[in-house]
Amino acid sequence: MGLLSKKDAALITDPFADNNPITIQVLGICSALAITAELKASIVMAISVLFVMGVGNIVISLMRNIIPSKIRIIAQLIVVATLVIIVDLVLKAFQYELSKTLGAFIGLIITNCIIMGRFEAFALANGPWRSFLDGIGNAVGYGVILILVGFFRELLGSGTLLGYKVLGDPIEKTGVYAFGYENNGFMLLAPMALIVVGIIIWIQRSRNEALIED
Amino acid sequence: MSKKTDSNIYTLIFATGMVLVVGTLLAFLASSLKPTIDENKRIEKQQNILYAMGVNDNDESSAIFVSKDKVGEEFSKYITKQLVIQGGKITEDDNAYLIDVKKEQTAEKEGKERKFPLFVGEKDGKTFYIAPIRGKGLWDAVWAYVGMDEDMVIQGAYFDHKGETAGLGANIKLRFFMDDFIGEHLKKDGAFKGIAISKSNNDPKNEDKIDNEVDAIAGATITGDGVSAMIKSELKKYVSFFNTLKTN
């Protein structure tokens, strides 16, 4: 039977494809638009959210029987905010360079509605182990889309990947630029992130009829 | 049947308890890590100042500071004088680099006499004057350390920001942007003009060094305008100091 039962494994694999938080549930769009202009930022954000969701889901799940339902949203928000601030402080003290890279993301992690969404929809009703898997699954599903969008936006917008000039130098006119290719500056702007996400949704739905709504 | 966690009393107790626990935890963590964080910030300032006078471990494409364990030694080797200019008076202060530019700007707004730190560095027989400046980007603060010669020609610059958009405005701290400033003249025909971040510069290789313009970053117009405004208003305040260098 392996490490995970079938039901548990589905918690990880579902959000990855047919229940993807971005393309199917359409959550977390704000951060998907804001930080995907380059691949590196997308990867950093994906890892940060993976951590916060994994740990956050466990904490909320452990507290699920003592949190009063009237203030559960506030309690969830406090848990996310606390986790993020702890990570931020520890990084500032021991990994200063990394913390500077992450600085801009801190606020975006706290407000990421996928995190709140999974707390509310899953961790409040399930045990810590399953909640942890659900958190990891959704964070990976989110991260994959983020990295995909970041990949296309950086490649087509700046002609680079992770800062490396993979298409040649646009100013010296080497590589593909020698044939008259130009970077599409529009890719760097937020609307194009939405369009790229839209195209991913389109491809995904056209391949899987079960996802098509009337 | 209502659960016990639904009662008002329980909710109140829970809320108070949670706030106390979280508050204590964060306060404890913040105060116990503060010395380490402050030390990191101090080292970073020294690294930034050295960067602006060309003392760095740059490779071909990325900006790399001198390493943490070497920075103190290099700083005392290259930075010969730290000056504080206040109301026309110039004094030396070995801790001038710790002056908080933000606080000084607030003091200036309140009508007090602002302290302007300036670091004098010597490298390969050349003298560098490095000024810390601070302004506003799109979302939050942007700041820079600008190294100049006595004619206010830029010799090196380090830009940084608090929360500019990743991949767009945040790119002001990348080499391709910062390196464009090297050799640029801040003055035009003897008078201070500043350097504008221009979309219509039409000089992508930045060969024209006396046009008082550098190429803007696509998608980062407001950050660029903020940087232009910061250079113009902040470095202008150092002009009288550079004029005294000429007359002596």
**Phi, then psi, of A131 in degrees rounded to 5:** -65, -40
pLDDT at B90 over 80: yes
Predicted complex ipTM: 0.75
B22 or B2: which carries more pLDDT confidence? B22
Report the pLDDT value the prediction gives residue B235, as an integer from 0 to 100.
92
Q: Would the CB atoms of B14 and A71 count as touching at under 8 Å?
A: yes
Q: What is the mean pLDDT of residues A2-25?
A: 74
Q: Would the CB atoms of A70 and B11 count as touching at under 8 Å?
A: yes
Q: Would the CB atoms of B36 and A154 count as touching at under 8 Å?
A: no
Residues of A in contact with B61 (CB under 8 A): 163
- Which residue from B minimizes the CA distance to A70? B6
Q: What is the mean pLDDT of residues A8-27?
A: 76
- Which residue from B minimizes the CA distance to A42? B166
Q: Is B201 within 8 Å of chain A by CB?
A: no
Report the pLDDT value the prediction gives residue A191, as an integer from 0 to 100.
86
- CB contacts under 8 A, B 131-170 vs A, are 162-168, 170
* pLDDT > 70 in chain A, percent: 93
- Interval A62-93: pLDDT, tens: 998 888 888 888 998 898 889 888 888 888 88
Report the pLDDT value the prediction gives residue A12, as an integer from 0 to 100.
76
Report the pLDDT value the prediction gives residue B228, as an integer from 0 to 100.
94
Residues of A in contact with B166 (CB under 8 A): 34-35, 37-38, 41, 104-105
Report the pLDDT value the prediction gives residue B2, as an integer from 0 to 100.
53
Give the lowest-confidence range in A191-200, A204-213, B138-147, B210-219. A204-213
DSSP A64-110: TTTS-GGGHHHHHHHHHHHHHHHHHHHHHHH-HHHHHHHGGGHHHHH
Report the pLDDT value the prediction gives residue A213, as an integer from 0 to 100.
67
Q: What is the pTM of this model?
A: 0.76
pLDDT at B107 over 70: yes
Residues of B in contact with A153 (CB under 8 A): 167
Q: Would the CB atoms of B15 and A104 count as touching at under 8 Å?
A: no
The domain locations on chain A are 20-213
Distance CA A163, CA B211 (A): 29
Helix orientation angle between A128-158 and A39-62, rounded to the nearest 10 degrees: 170
Residues of A in contact with B62 (CB under 8 A): 163
- Which residue from B minimizes the CA distance to A34? B165
Q: Is B27 within 8 Å of chain A by CB?
A: no
Residues of A in contact with B6 (CB under 8 A): 68-70
Q: What is the mean pLDDT of residues A120-145?
A: 89
Q: Would the CB atoms of B11 and A189 count as touching at under 8 Å?
A: no
Q: Would the CB atoms of A37 and B168 count as touching at under 8 Å?
A: yes
* pLDDT > 70 in chain B, percent: 98
pLDDT at B136 over 90: yes
Q: Which of A122, A120, A138 is nearest to A130 (CA)?
A: A122
Report the pLDDT value the prediction gives residue B62, as an integer from 0 to 100.
77
Report the pLDDT value the prediction gives residue B138, as an integer from 0 to 100.
92
Q: Would the CB atoms of A188 and B37 count as touching at under 8 Å?
A: no
Residues of A in contact with B5 (CB under 8 A): 65-69
Residue B192 bridge partners (DSSP): B187
Amino acid letter, residue B66: V
| Joined tokens for residue A97 | 């360079």
